[in-house]
Every structure is written in structure tokens, then in C-alpha cells.
Amino acid sequence: MQPIDPRQTALLDRARQEAKSEPDRALKTLVEFEQQFPLSYDAEVVRLEVLLRLGRRDEAEALGRELIAKDAAMKKPVERLLSRVRPR
């Protein structure tokens, strides 16, 4: 297994923090993340939360379905986010 790049962790942590109060900025940070690193479930879950906070529920639900289709273990975390996170 390849070690995780500290820059990858820093960008994802930044996106998580921004998702709470600045979802527009978090979305830009996720784009920056995706330009530099391969997609990860962690990044996709943050994207799901950001989409919900921005009121883009249809996109969030579609992403949630994709995540569950890739990994059935994602069903509960995705459903939890979909039921818990509200637009800002």
C-alpha cells in the first residue's frame, strides 16, 4: 500500500472544514484535490455533504447512488448524510 501524500490529507481536511461554513469554497477545494490526486471515497463523501449544503439534493442523491453501487458498505453512511445534512 502506498503512503498517503500529506498534501492530499491537508486538502481533504481543508475541504471538510470548508464544507461546514463555506460549501462553495469546499467545492473548489475538491476540484483542486481531484486535479492532483485520484478520487477517493473520502473525497466523494465530502462532495456529497457539500452538494447537500448547497441545496443540490438531486446531484447529491445521484452521487450517493453511485457510491453505494461501488461499495454496498457505503449505504448507511450515505443515507445518514442524506437525512442529516441540510442546506446552509
Residue-range definition of the domain harbouring residue 15? 6-84
Is residue 10 domain-resident?
Answer: yes
Residue 87 has pLDDT above 90, yes or no: no
Residue 59 lies in a domain: yes
14 in a domain, yes or no?
yes
* Residue 1, domain member (yes or no): no
Distance, in Å, from the CA atom of 38 to the CA atom of 54, rounded to the nearest integer, reads 24
Under DSSP, the state recorded for 5 is P
pLDDT at 40: 87
The angle formed by the CA atoms of residues 76, 82 and 83, to the nearest 5 degrees, is 90
pLDDT digits (tens, 9 = 90+) for 2-42: 567 899 999 999 999 999 999 999 999 999 999 999 888 89
Q: Are 61 and 82 in contact (CB under 8 A)?
A: yes
Q: What pLDDT is attached to residue 2? A: 59
| Per-residue pLDDT at 58 | 95
3-state DSSP call for residue 40?
coil
Task: Give how many domains the chain has, as a whole number.
Answer: 1
